[in-house]
A and B are shown apart, each in its own frame.
Chain A
Amino acid sequence: MDTETDTQIPDAPARRGWRGRLYHGETRIDFMGRKWWGIGLSGALILITIISLVAQGLNLGLDFEGGVQWEVPSANLTDAQARSVLSSNGITTTDAKIVTVSASGQARLRIQTPEQKPEVRQKVSEDLAKAAKVNIKDISTNSVTAAWGTEITKKAVRALVVFIILVALFIAWRFEWSMALSAISAMLHDVLISVGIYSVLQLEVTPATVIAFLTILGFSLYDTIVVFDKVDENTARFAGARLPYDDVINVSMNQVLMRSLNTSAAAVLPVMSLLVVGAGILGAISLREFALALFVGLITGSYSSIFIASPLLAWLKGKTPKYRSLKAPRAIGIDLERLVMGGSPAARREAQRLRGSSQGDTVRAAAIAIATPEVVLSHPPRPRKKKRR
């Protein structure tokens, strides 16, 4: 049907290639028709996450579990030497976890043990410096009591709960409750999937990771809100057209698609740079902890605002009395495109032409009727005045 229409209307901008259409905001992707792809993919990922969380949990770092950690440049230090240093200071080496963290040429030995007394910590640092033939200043140590770890975890959770409540109230006040619910669900989905990746790959969760997760929350919401702002605007715009909510969402998502892609690219580029240049080439381990979680979160954030938040919103809104009765088939293809571009001079001309040539099936006629300038306005219809001049 698309091609047929295209040949009929030589002026239609649909002639452009997909890149051109994307660039000019003339896409006609039926997101709602494909919502099960997204839901299926997310469902699968969440299932994997849950299985992994139950089976192997998270690799919580020192700051959450308590203990002591030394990081020693390991050019002259072997695993066995490190263990002998530990045992000579009365630490049972079976409790110690020793891993090599390599970062571009400079390998560091990361030694983790349960909590130790300050004197023992100092002595071990000195002995390690001696064994590795480095200055004691080059050894990084980190010691946290288990109680403190629990405390900061509690604090992070409390902050998260307060944040979610406040944001939900804000969105509900600014837009509506169903949007708040959808946005928060999408956000939780992002965090869950990011946590899942950390669990599946058994990456260590550090305070830096927590910060990155919090950023993901912010970014995911930001993205969703921009989409919802458009939906909100289009709801008003199509108020007179009695357009099903699915269509309103489809139109909105096509309209913000380019912005979503651009923003994601703009946000992902610096993070990729952190990950590849900072952590990879220059070998800053602490940067990797941030960048990895951010990278994952940014991608799921953009994805969820389109594939999770919006279908959920459509489902919630579709149940309301206002939209329940509107059961028209979803506008797809060229009809969707007209809706997306509704109000533009090209669309107006086209609608004029098609109305003159009274051909086509009923669905198309309905869609065209929607696309006519009388109904689809570029701004909400002005309230009717009592007295006409």
Chain B
Amino acid sequence: MRRKLVYSLLAVVILGIGLLTITLAAGYKPALGLDLRGGISVTLRPVTGQQYDKSSLDLAVERIRERVDSFGVGEPEILRQDNAIVVNLPGVNDQQQALDLVNVTGKVYLRPVLACASPTPSTPVTSIVSTATTTVGSSTVITLTPPTTGAAVSPGSTVTTGSPGPSRRVNTVPPTTDPSATTTVAAPTSGSSAGTSTTNASATSVPAGSGGATTTTGLPFSDPTQTQILPTRDGGRCQVGPSGGTGEVFVRDSALPRIIGGGWGVTVDLKTGGSGEGVWNALAKECFNGTATCPSKQLAIELDGQIQSAPTVQAEQFTGSVQITGRFTKAEATKLAQVMNSGALPITLQAEAVQTVSATLGKDSLRAALIAGAIGIALVLLFMFAYYRRLALVVVVGLCISGALIYSITSFISRFYNGVLSLAGVAGLIVSIGVTIDSYVVFFERLKDEIRAGRSLRNSAQRGFKAAFHTILVADSVSLIGAAVLWYLSVGAVRGFAFYLGLSTMVDVFVAYFFTRPAVLLLARTKYMSGKTIMGMETSIDGTQALGATS
């Protein structure tokens, strides 16, 4: 029993000190929220009346993150909270810049590719041309194979017309589409590189220079009406013509990543009629024939200023569905399918709330909160010492351990999960001091009750803890329920508050059981606790002294 207590005590103390040491040694710090260090916070929400789902919001978050990262904003915080997106940009002061940064349309454009450059523009011109085709080839190739190709027309078309559940059917189809796919991959790759090498060389030399400038300032803004130079996902750049159509030609949620001919690819269904197949086939015809508007025979799928994929068109006419094959990894194919799905039903986001916090105001708030918090803790401890005398030592050490645990966990979360400590969080922590102290008070008052009832100190400590822990558990459960509900159902600052309230409540239960219990039980066996000074009443280790009888 005693050994167990000692182990528990030592383990908790070592855990607290160890975690704190690791945190400090690794230099992890809680990331501060906007309201504590200044910056701009933008809350976005889809314009009302739109149809959308959570996955398109998630995609928008990803797009905003890529965009914000490309502009080099330090420690941005971009979160989806229910159906809103909160973007916190510390250190940014220009509202217009912030609004531009988060302005993602979610629109997918289909744009004919004029020319492409490799990720490193410094390589010789000839190799740019060749790598242009090979880089695009290596990552995003390139075979748009209509399932209704060539000889396989009639079986192919019957296959594709039944749109629900093509995934099962494709498993059986590959033998028929596979040979055509592999043969067509080889032919256009060599063909396009040979045929367009001269035009590419002249065209890419221009984007190489100006493109270098654009990448330093981040992702360009998409302008679908102009010829533009846009980056590809793998770091290269392509010059693309005006948009010939949008992702709305695809059927919503029909894009699926799947294995096509031994590699990952994406299939997607086309809408029937002029708005779907009509638009797509017009583009496909242009690119398949390599006309002046689409000399490279590649059709770029662009989302918010970034080319997601630029496959070479392998057929003039498509009916029902489209296959995109190439040397994709599974993740790449999934991502592409996701982009195409979201493009089929783009969401327009609207800035609902824009908040700028000046850096000085933020710093002042943080300083004031820290000073006030420190004074508050000092007052509480003074009070504890005045009231519980020597027993308050347990409170001091316990608070230090809670503090070390909470600080370390907060730092870890900031480091690995992109969480920040906002003013609301700080307030939550300060309030939680009260809750933590309360569990000590409940325990110590129980201890006094038991001693008063004539039990020995040692016995009192055990019985007192058992009863008090019961109370603490019930009361803390309510706090936890509250924190969890708030966390799930609220937006913005309330969430930060709920998180820290929940965290400190859990730490409270942990410290109460693994530190306070062994500490007090062990102290109850020593001379430290016996004698009149303890809690202002007469105690004895063995309880032989009748309590009411003295004085």
Contacts and interface: CB of A to CB of B under 8 A. Distances in A.
Interface of A: 11, 13, 23-25, 63, 71, 118-119, 121-122, 125, 136-145, 147-148, 151-152, 155-156, 158-159, 162-163, 166-167, 170-171, 174, 207-208, 210-212, 214-215, 217-219, 221-222, 225-226, 229-230, 233, 255-256, 258-259, 262-263, 265-274, 277-279, 282-284, 286-287, 290, 294, 298, 341, 343-346, 349, 378
A171 B475 CA distance: 10
A217 B485 CA distance: 13
A159 B490 contact: yes
Contact of B442 (A24, A226, A343): A226
- Label chain A's interface by main secondary structure: helix
Contacts of A279: 368, 372
Nearest to B479: A218
B442 A259 contact: yes
24 contacts: A24-B452, A118-B95, A122-B95, A136-B93, A138-B359, A142-B353, A152-B492, A155-B491, A225-B471, A225-B475, A229-B471, A229-B475, A233-B467, A265-B383, A267-B434, A267-B437, A270-B377, A270-B430, A270-B434, A271-B430, A272-B376, A274-B372, A282-B368, A346-B549
A219 B434 contact: yes
Nearest to A294: B431
Interface in B319-361: 350-361
B453 A378 contact: yes
Nearest to B47: A147
Given A277-B375, A278-B369, 16 more contacts: A138-B358, A139-B358, A142-B355, A145-B351, A152-B492, A155-B491, A162-B485, A207-B492, A262-B445, A270-B433, A273-B379, A282-B372, A290-B423, A344-B454, A345-B549, A349-B548
Contacts of B477: 170, 174
A24 B452 CA distance: 8
Given A222-B435, A259-B445, A282-B367, A118 B99 contact: yes
A258 B444 CA distance: 11
A83 B470 CA distance: 60
Interface residues of B, number: 86
A152 B548 contact: no
A13 B548 contact: yes
Contacts, number: 276
Given A142-B355, A267-B434, A167 B445 contact: no
A158 B489 contact: yes
- Label chain B's interface by main secondary structure: helix
Given A207-B492, A226-B471, A263 B478 contact: no
B93 A211 contact: no
B271 interface: no
B431 A155 contact: no
A284 B478 contact: no
B358 A140 contact: yes
Contacts of A271: 376, 430-431, 434
B43 interface: yes
A208 B493 CA distance: 8
Interface string B34-77: 01001000010100100000000000000000000000000000
Contacts of B449: 25, 255
B376 A269 contact: yes
Contacts of A122: 94-96
B542 interface: no
Q: Which 9 A-B pairs have the closest CB atoms?
A: A346-B548, A267-B434, A270-B376, A278-B372, A273-B376, A148-B352, A284-B368, A266-B437, A282-B368
Contacts of B99: 118
A141 B354 contact: yes
Nearest to B485: A163
